């Protein structure tokens, strides 16, 4: 932890007093530098930007030049490349949208980018239609919890896979069926699904395809892979196999899009989707919040999102690479 000057917004930016920020595997990958390919984008020896954190919600306190849609006092949420684990952050105005009525700032911070990932995967890649069957692995995690709700909002019949302790939570998210992966191997259960959104990739691609309908869509999305190139090998294999089967194997990388965040805001406002929050930490405990995120749990072991809340004069959580276990590394 360190004390730094409050940043000033540049052209097209706004200064946010951060109310809450969420942590996710992307923060862990950048901080540890693994897979090594992330170092090409974020710094070879240590992260190029000293303050981690990509998702946040808070109150606009100042606006830079050319910003007309946001004003001081507006409650907003969105994403940034870095710097969210602080009490103040400068963010591109185009990456922010108003917090929907009835949603707290803490809840709003749990939405991007996992909500956008689930929305883009199911609506744009799988093109889920009413009446289709959708299987979501890791259904109690950050992306999975949104995927269950978004698939239901799209009219699908949804099956969620998670561990025993999270079965009731996934039911409450709206899943029509829930499978305990510790008791049942979903790839051998006999059912076949129009869409499989695999947020865990705990089983070989061939086994998962056995549960996919003959013309169904499989979206691998765990981010797992080798130490050097991460998931690129798995992505390439899925792309190649897809050319030799009627099944659609569609790994993808989500992108931040303001229109998608606005679509999520509409779903949040109507109550069709609600963020699942595992636990909230003070900013000083950001390392504790982040440590389990990089542990790569088994299917469904995650439970919603973990968030930090900033409450003191401007402090930031800084990192220099290595282990996330202690404050000196954050």
Write out pLDDT tens, residues 318-329.
433 333 333 223
Give the pLDDT confidence score for residue 312 in this predicted structure.
39
**Averaged pLDDT for residues 168-195:** 96
Give the pLDDT confidence score for residue 294 in this predicted structure.
58
**Averaged pLDDT for residues 103-129:** 95
20 to each of 84, 226, 272, 311, 316, how far by Cα in Å? 9, 32, 23, 9, 13
First to last CA, the chain: 7
Q: Is the pLDDT of residue 33 over 60?
A: no
The long-range contacts involving 7-11, CB below 8 angstroms and separated by at least 24 positions, are: 7/83, 7/88, 7/89, 7/90, 8/62, 8/64, 8/90, 9/62, 9/63, 9/64, 9/67, 9/90, 10/64, 10/65, 10/90, 11/64, 11/65, 11/66
Please give the Cα distance from 21 to 223 (Å, whole number): 21
Write out pLDDT tens, residues 154-171.
999 999 999 999 999 999
Mean pLDDT over the full length of the chain: 82
Please give the Cα distance from 28 to 34 (Å, whole number): 8
């Amino acid at each position: 932890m360190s004390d730094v000057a409050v940043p000033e917004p540049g052209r097209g930016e706004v200064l946010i007093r951060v109310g809450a920020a969420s942590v996710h595997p992307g923060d862990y990958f950048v901080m540890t530098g693994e897979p090594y390919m992330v170092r090409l984008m974020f710094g070879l020896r240590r992260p190029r930007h000293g303050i981690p954190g990509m998702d946040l919600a808070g109150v606009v306190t100042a606006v830079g030049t050319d910003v007309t849609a946001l004003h001081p006092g507006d409650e907003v949420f969105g994403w940034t490349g870095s710097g969210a684990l602080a009490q103040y952050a400068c963010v591109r105005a185009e990456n922010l949208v108003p917090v929907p009525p009835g949603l707290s700032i803490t809840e709003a911070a749990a939405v991007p980018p996992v909500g956008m990932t689930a929305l883009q995967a199911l609506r744009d890649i799988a093109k889920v239609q009413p009446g289709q069957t959708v299987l979501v692995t890791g259904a109690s995690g950050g992306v999975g919890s949104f995927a269950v709700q978004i698939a239901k909002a799209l009219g699908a019949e949804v099956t969620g896979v998670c561990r025993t302790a999270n079965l009731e939570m996934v039911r409450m998210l709206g899943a029509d069926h829930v499978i305990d992966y510790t008791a049942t191997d979903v790839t051998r259960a006999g059912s076949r699904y129009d869409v499989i959104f695999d947020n865990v990739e705990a089983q070989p691609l061939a086994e998962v395809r056995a549960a996919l309908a003959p013309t169904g869509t499989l979206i691998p999305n765990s981010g797992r892979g080798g130490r050097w190139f991460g998931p690129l090998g798995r992505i390439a294999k899925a792309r190649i196999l897809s050319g030799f089967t009627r099944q659609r194997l569609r790994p993808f990388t989500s992108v931040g899009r303001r229109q998608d965040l606005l679509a999520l805001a509409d779903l949040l406002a109507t109550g069709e989707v609600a963020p699942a929050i595992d636990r909230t930490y003070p900013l000083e405990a950001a390392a504790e919040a982040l440590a389990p995120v990089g542990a790569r749990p088994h299917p469904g072991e995650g439970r919603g999102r973990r968030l930090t809340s900033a409450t003191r004069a401007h402090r930031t959580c800084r990192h220099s690479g290595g282990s996330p276990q202690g404050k000196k590394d954050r």
